[in-house]
Amino acid sequence: MLSKVHHVGIVVRSADDALGFYRDALGLPVSVDRVIEDQGVRGVLLPCGSAEIELLEPTRDDTGVARFLQSRGEGQHHVCFESDDCAADLRAAADKGVQLIDGAPRAGLAGTIGFLHPKSNHGVLIEYATPVEEAHVGPGEDAIARRIDHIGIVVKDIPTAAATYEHHFGFSLDPDLGGNVEALGIENAFMLAGNAHLEFIRPTTGEGPVAKFAAERGEGSFLLSLAVDDAEAAVATLRERGARVADPNNGVAFVSPRSSFGVTLQLVERS
């Protein structure tokens, strides 16, 4: 069974550089920092609420992560769901017709892990992980980012994508959230994945960042939203620490992808 978002994976050129933002500016602690030789990556885990942010830096040129970096640049790479039995959940996914990248589980940064093909999941690379150690607790009191609020996924048709995710992962749409957001030229719906929402987003006009993403990339993970206590204060502190952040609007602020290492990163005020 899948229970929640375990982490969001972000591919970066240099983990040291990216730590300057995710650790030093956002205030997230580092729980794991390790080179996995056979996978050719350095992985750094930063707890954020009951989930984590995983920075991935390729250490060789012949890996999937290195190819992603070459073709797409830095940014959001995958979403990982926590599983109580990675092998059983991979088998269950295969039985539902999901194309797997890992037919059998293997050892990864987050425990026993396996990847599902993005083709089967509306453009999102999905990982399952069964942690081998106790969950890390974080972030600390002085962190700006309290938890992962939601992960935005651009799709062609919301009911189709929601049905796929419900069937594959067992999460359900939240009937009280979402709708037509005319000011943003989008339609959205939210599905609670344990500790964070998945937001399905469909552009309703030809303009704006969602329509641009849909035209250039099709479907896929588009945005990472982190909850903050106070948007104005978070923006002021991040600016003091050298990050570029737009002025908050109704409790929502966007960090420049230049500061967040390619991620479309939103800060949202939640009490």
By CB under 5 A, name the binding residues for Co ion: 9, 54, 80, 127
State the burial class of residue 126 (Cβ atoms within 10 Å of its Cβ: 0-12, 13-18, 19+).
buried
Nearer to Co ion (CB atom), residue 41 or residue 238: 41
> Residue 72 is inside which H or E element, if any?
helix 64-72
Nearer to Co ion (CB atom), residue 36 or residue 158: 36
For 96, other C-beta atoms within 10 Å of its C-beta total 12
Cβ 183 to Co ion, closest distance in Å? 34
Nearer to Co ion (CB atom), residue 113 or residue 145: 113
Nearer to Co ion (CB atom), residue 54 or residue 82: 54
Cβ 202 to Co ion, closest distance in Å? 27
Cβ 229 to Co ion, closest distance in Å? 27
Cβ 98 to Co ion, closest distance in Å? 17
Nearer to Co ion (CB atom), residue 23 or residue 202: 23
Note every long-range contact of 233-242, with CB atoms under 8 Å and residues 24 or more positions apart, other chains counting. 234/144, 234/267, 234/269, 235/267, 237/144, 238/25, 238/26, 238/144, 241/24, 241/25, 242/20, 242/25
Q: How far is CA 109 from the centre of its chain?
A: 16
Cβ 78 to Co ion, closest distance in Å? 6
Cα dihedral: 103, 83, 130, 267 (round 10): 110
Nearer to Co ion (CB atom), residue 32 or residue 184: 32
Cβ 186 to Co ion, closest distance in Å? 28
